[in-house]
Amino acid sequence: MVLPDGDVVVPYDSAAMVRSFRSTNGGASWSSSVLVASISHHQVAGGLREEPLPSAAVDAAGTVYVAWSDCRFRVNCRSNDIVIAKSTSETTWAAPVRVPVDAESSTADHFTPGLAVDRATSGATARVGLAYYYYPQASCTAATCQLDAGFISSANGGATWSAATQLAGPMSLSWLPNTLLGPMFGDYIATAIPPGGNAYPVIPAAKAPTGTTFHQAMYVPVGGLPVTGGTRPASAAHAHPGAAPSYAPSLGTGSP
């Protein structure tokens, strides 16, 4: 993330943690990394090729937002929410909060966020857009899992959120190309918000194959989606008893 003062902040996934490092001189040198937060992650069902990759954005004041999938708010880590942490200084981050796509008691599993902030806004008026994937039923199999994509927004820096909108799906995992690491729905998801404009999530989505020919492509909603306020409050950070303490990598180090 390039901040308004020219500093560069790089958030990244480091196995069981999200960390970040910074340059104040255009990349000539870099700081040591600092901890954003630990990751508690539920392994998504169906053998899907998925891990808690972070997505980041920055507002007009230079506050960096980082989103990832995390099960800390779920009893016994039974499914993931999307959580967001914000930078509070060059070296510190606020605790993650839960984006209220649905209730903590829901059966859904949420993962692979694509986060955006309108860079003309900041603080309590920051306009935030978030695309993500989800299973309506976290407990499913490769034959029964139904994959959807959704979108949710906030007009006050993530304090409260709109109702969620379904963007695509349901998709069957058999519609996805297989890899050595499982069916690949595509983690190439992103969202952009031009100043004062609508949000444009860009997502991979699939339709049923024709014989052995896959039909998977990148899509964006025509005209974008409004970034609206809402009354659904983000949850204060906490961990449920029995939640997994950290994410255990299971996807290996290479890509097919």
| pLDDT tens by residue, 73-89 | 999 999 999 999 999 99
Q: Which helix (H) or strand (E) holds 214?
A: strand 213-219
Closest CA to 150 of 95, 104, 81, 196: 81
Please state the rounded mean pLDDT for residues 5-34: 94
Closest CA to 206 of 159, 168, 241: 168
Please state the rounded mean pLDDT for residues 34-62: 95
Residue 70 in any domain: the answer is: yes
Residue 101 in any domain: the answer is: yes
Task: Give the CB-side neighbour count of residue 143, counting CA atoms within 13 A.
Answer: 0
**How many domains would you assign to the chain?**
1
Q: What pLDDT score was predicted for residue 247?
A: 41
Strand order in the sheet with 17-23: 8-14, 17-23, 34-38
Please state the rounded mean pLDDT for residues 200-209: 96
Residue 16 in any domain: the answer is: no
Domain hosting residue 203, numbered range: 44-233
Q: What pLDDT score was predicted for residue 239?
A: 56
Q: What pLDDT score was predicted for residue 187?
A: 80
**Residue 12 to residue 18: CA distance in whole angstroms:** 6
Residue 170 in any domain: the answer is: yes
Residue 140 in any domain: the answer is: yes
Please state the rounded mean pLDDT for residues 77-106: 95
Residue 176 in any domain: the answer is: yes
Strand partners, 146: 172
**Residue 3 to residue 61: CA distance in whole angstroms:** 8
**Residue 99 to residue 234: CA distance in whole angstroms:** 5
**Sequence-distant (≥ 6) Cβ neighbours of residue 194 within 8 angstroms:** 118, 200
Q: What pLDDT score was predicted for residue 251?
A: 35
**Residue 119 to residue 48: CA distance in whole angstroms:** 33
Please state the rounded mean pLDDT for residues 10-33: 94
Encode pLDDT of 111-147 as tens digits. 999 999 999 999 999 999 999 999 999 999 999 999 9
Residue 5 in any domain: the answer is: no
Please state the rounded mean pLDDT for residues 82-100: 95
Closest CA to 182 of 220, 223, 147, 234: 147
Two structure tokens written together for 209: 């194959």
Please state the rounded mean pLDDT for residues 60-72: 97
Residue 26 in any domain: the answer is: no
Contact, 36 vs 66, CB < 8 A? Answer: yes
Q: How confident is the model at residue 235 (pLDDT cuts 50, 70, 90)?
A: confident
Strand partners, 70: 81
Please state the rounded mean pLDDT for residues 194-199: 97
